[in-house]
Amino acid sequence: MSWSPEKTEVKSWNEWDPLRHVIVGRADDCHIPPEEPALDAKVPEDSDMRGQWGRRPQETIDRANELLDNFAGMLEKRGLRVDRPTSIDHSVPATTPDFHTESQFGCMPPRDVLLTVGREMLEATMSYRCRWFEYLNYRPLMQQYFNEDPKFRHESAPKPRLTDADYHPDYLSEKIGDAKRLEWAAEKFFVTTEEEPLFDAADVLRFGKDLVVQHGFTTNEKGIEWLRRHFPDHRVHTVNFPGDPYPIHIDATFTPLRPGLILNNPQRRLPKDQRKMFEANDWEIVDAAQPSHNSPPPLCYSSTWLSMNVLVLDPKTVCVEKSEVYQAEQMDKLGMEVVEVELRDAYAFGGGLHCCTADVYRDGECEDYFPNM
């Protein structure tokens, strides 16, 4: 039976089949959280984020929401069903028996929290204390989907304690510098320890029967093992990108566009020994185009490589940020229809076009794109 916007059905097996139903985030009440172990390690020493925290200025929130609303409206005009989160009060401190931090974060990037695999939507553990309660922004939607779709599975990974034992104090002790961080990344030594399973949903890419998961700042090896046990019918592969001194979330580093084609950040190439599964199955990995900007927007956590943080609408159509002209040109040369979306002024609230969305429904079924393993 074909998809209908009037009937709620949760299903998505990959990053490229035709997208029909999606969640688009909001910038409502977004805060710059206080320093904490995982977050402090992510912010470069020379960043204007250092030492700043509190509610973001209202004019920046309004501008980001304008762009997110426009993006949602454009998707609806193309026939997609679009849902939005219900913002909680992010000024309320995040407090558990194990930690206390003075504020939370926001609900602009649902991709960080929600992982859709088939008919399941899984709430990630999250590795930042300020994001411990972030799933609550999406609970009204999860409850709605549960009530309306009898086949929907709403799952939540075990909430981590996030005590000091979850973090290496070495990452906080001094100005480290990118050279040392790159050395640590090559050694797979990150801010998070292996105390308990930790993962963000945005570290996972879906390729039908295969899940590709980045080991880095926000996902540890125990988190990947938890995913492996949770999805026993899938093959779960660990990847890492030694060229990234701040390895957080995979979707500004490794971006599948359609079966057989992946964009890879040229500064963070997938190591040769991890390319075997792709090469054995005739997948082409191409360097992404250079970003159009030399620096990220003010008070932004991310790098300029949000240029490749695109949303694939179907194997022939892709949303690219409007100012990223080099990335758009490359997509055109790769045979993709480019839909330009203005979003740069919302980057600081949690990322790009892929980050600010979460799949609810894509056409297609679970296929094996890597039969030669």
**pLDDT tens-place values along the chain, 373 residues long:** 688 888 999 999 999 999 999 999 999 999 998 888 877 655 445 444 445 678 899 999 999 999 999 999 999 999 999 999 999 999 999 999 999 999 999 999 999 999 999 999 999 999 999 999 999 999 999 999 999 999 999 999 999 999 999 998 867 555 677 788 888 888 999 999 999 999 999 999 999 999 999 999 999 999 999 999 999 999 999 999 998 888 899 999 999 999 999 999 999 999 999 999 999 999 999 999 999 998 888 777 778 999 999 999 999 999 999 999 999 999 999 999 999 999 999 999 999 999 999 999 999 999 999 999 8
Residue 2 domain-assigned (yes or no): no
Q: What pLDDT is recorded for position 169?
A: 82
Residue 43 domain-assigned (yes or no): yes
Q: What pLDDT is recorded for position 181?
A: 81
Q: Which domain holds residue 290?
A: 19-362
User: 336 near 313, Cβ under 8 Å?
Assistant: no
Q: Catalytic residue at 249? A: yes
Q: What is the pTM of this model?
A: 0.95
User: Strand 204-207 vs strand 210-214: parallel, antiparallel, or unpaired?
Assistant: antiparallel
The C-alpha atoms of residue 32 and residue 57 are separated, in whole angstroms, by 10
What letter would DSSP give residue 89? -
Residue 350 domain-assigned (yes or no): yes
Q: What pLDDT is recorded for position 50?
A: 46
Residue 11 domain-assigned (yes or no): no
Between the CA of residue 172 and those of 119, 213, 235, what are the distances in Å? Answer: 40, 26, 35
Q: What is the CATH number of the domain that holds 101?
A: 3.75.10.10
Residue 100 parent element (H or E): strand 100-101
Which member of 30, 319, 355, 356 is catalytic? 355
Residue 370 domain-assigned (yes or no): no
Residue 13 domain-assigned (yes or no): no
Which member of 17, 166, 200, 244 is catalytic? 200
Number of domains in the chain: 1
Residue 371 domain-assigned (yes or no): no
Q: What pLDDT is recorded for position 164?
A: 94
Q: Catalytic residue at 363? A: no
Give Cβ neighbours of residue 204 (< 8 Å, ≥ 6 apart). Answer: 115, 211, 212, 213, 214, 227, 250
Which member of 21, 90, 234, 249 is catalytic? 249
Residue 372 domain-assigned (yes or no): no
The C-alpha atoms of residue 26 and residue 106 are separated, in whole angstroms, by 8
